[in-house]
Structure 1
Amino acid sequence: MQRPFFIILIALLPLYAFAQKDTTVIKNAMLRLDQALLNRDSVALAQLLHPQLTYGHSNGWVQSREEVWTDGVTGKLRYKTIRPEAAATFAATETTIITRQLIYVEGMVSDKQFAMQLQVLQTWIKTKNGWQLLARQSVKTANNEPIK
């Protein structure tokens, strides 16, 4: 009875190793994206954002790749802080990784300040250009600070 268990375990180890390696890559991509948004880094944003991106904010605003890039670079949307509040969780296949993470953000949009805690869902896909963000949606949590 124990032999089939070990055969299954050995068969699944490569999948576990694959998932571990790619979640490390995605953690790095998530960090690079946060830094690119904070620093208004047009080159990094161009690399990380998929051409068909849909970027959903907690207030219902949905941006395309071009809008995220333009608003980030021009300063229409300026992030002051993007801080993880909890470790991200991952669901992975060979070409898609879905992440969930609790974060705290502060910044300004059209000269109006915001500060809030968000639950963020991201979908990353593997492309010829590496892992790129295809979709993002956030929702406010109960622990939000009032808008300043």
Structure 2
Amino acid sequence: MRNFVSVYIVYALIVFNLSHTFAQSKEEQTVFNLSKKKFNWQVNKQLDSLDAILDERALYIHSNGWAETKQEALDNLQSGKLVYKNIEIKEANVRLYSGTAIVTGKGSFSGTVNGTDFDIELSYTEVYVQKKNKWLLVSRHANRMP
């Protein structure tokens, strides 16, 4: 009986997660996937890919209050001032508003800043704007989780 209950719970969780994914519109899924790719590009230092999705006036605000422009964010990744070793997103949701998408999420982030290791849990908000049929990240802000 215990095995049946365990299997049922796992099944229910899978169905719930799939229904949440399928409930998203095509545009919401596009932005969700772009946000997910962005984190991979940061870890893998794929600067050309990041450059293509960051708006020229993008502002990237870290959990310690450090704010970077688009160029500063790219330069800091390239120079090794900021190195992401691992980013694991645990939760993310997308909301659309007439050409604007807001992504809110939570995740584990590890890496180094100026050679000092960090391993933190963050909540974050990303704002994407659609320009010429392309989604661009215009703002990102993160907070430490308690």
TM-score by length of 1: 0.80
Separation (CA, whole Å) in 1 of partners of 2:63 and 2:95: 22
Which deviations, in whole Å up to 9, do the C-alpha atoms of 1:1-48 show, x marking residues without a partner? xxxxxxxxxxxxxxxxxx611111111111221111001111101111
- Aligned residue for 2:32, secondary structure, equals helix
CA apart distance, 1:128: 2.1
Q: Please say which of residues 121-130 and 62-71 is displaced more in the overlay.
A: 121-130
Amino acid at match of 2:142: S
Distance in 2 of aligned mates of 1:44 and 1:28 = 14
Q: Decide which of 136, 140, 143 is 1:136's aligned counterpart.
A: 140
Partner of 1:44: 49
Give the structure 1 partner of residue 124 of structure 2: 120
Q: Is the 8 A contact 1:32 1:44 kept in 2?
A: no
| Residue 78 (1) aligns with residue 83 (2) | yes
Aligned to 1:61: 66
Q: Structure 1 vs Structure 2: percent identity of aligned residues?
A: 24
Gaps of 5+ in 1: 1-18, 143-148
Matched-pair contact (CA < 8 Å) for 1:89–1:101: yes
Distance in 2 separating the partners of 1:124 and 1:67: 19
Q: How does the TM-score come out when normalised to structure 2? A: 0.81
Conserved? CA contact 1:41–1:73, under 8 Å: no
Task: Give runs of ≥4 in structure 1 deviating > 2 Å.
Answer: none
Q: Which segments of 5 or more consecutive residues in structure 2 lack a partner in the other structure?
A: 1-23
Q: CA RMSD in A?
A: 1.5
